[in-house]
Amino acid sequence: SSNLSQDVMEDFDNRYNFVINKVQEFIYKEREKQEIIANLVKSLSDLGYSTLITTSDGIMFFDSPLGIEYKIMLRMLKDKLAIKFIKIIPNNYVVSDSEKEKDIELVKDWCKDCQKVLHYLKENNIYLEPEKILNPTDNPDIIYVSFSTLPTEIKELYSKQIENKKKAIIKSKKPE
């Protein structure tokens, strides 16, 4: 019977060690992910992008220097980094072909900034293999997001930004 209990103990130890290793691996990956995100935020802010908000499901939105309707959407998916360029449009708005072409040109310009961000990460010893980056450079595209489909947190902030822009325009038109 001592052999049986020894086998049971060995089995328990193996399972316990397996679980502990998995937990440590998870903690390590989470820490690594947080470090990548912190460095991304730093490099984007150095390039003139400011963090707008992080939604409850971990999607980060950045303001872009191109205008308040243009946002950068960033998300870590498992160990992949997804970067998307979005433009907020009014509900039921139809984007014309010429507008789409103009936006694609903006995205191409923005891809240069994206390369700077990846270079910055490398300089900070964070290496993301190309297949780990769902990179806009491969396929420059813009995602049009109608206002009504935005996460609530973004709707509120975006509405405030539009309000502030209107106030600024009104102020600038006032005669001295």
pLDDT tens track for 95-154: 999 998 898 888 887 777 777 877 877 787 766 665 555 555 556 678 898 988 888 888
> In the beta sheet, which residues pair with residue 80?
77
Cα separation values, 141 from 80, 97, 103, 173, Å: 19, 13, 8, 36
Residue 156's SS3 state is: helix
Q: Provide the token pair at 122.
A: 């490398």
**Residues 134/138/139/145 CA torsion (nearest 10 deg):** 30
Residue written as token pair 């191109």: 66
pTM of the model as a whole = 0.68
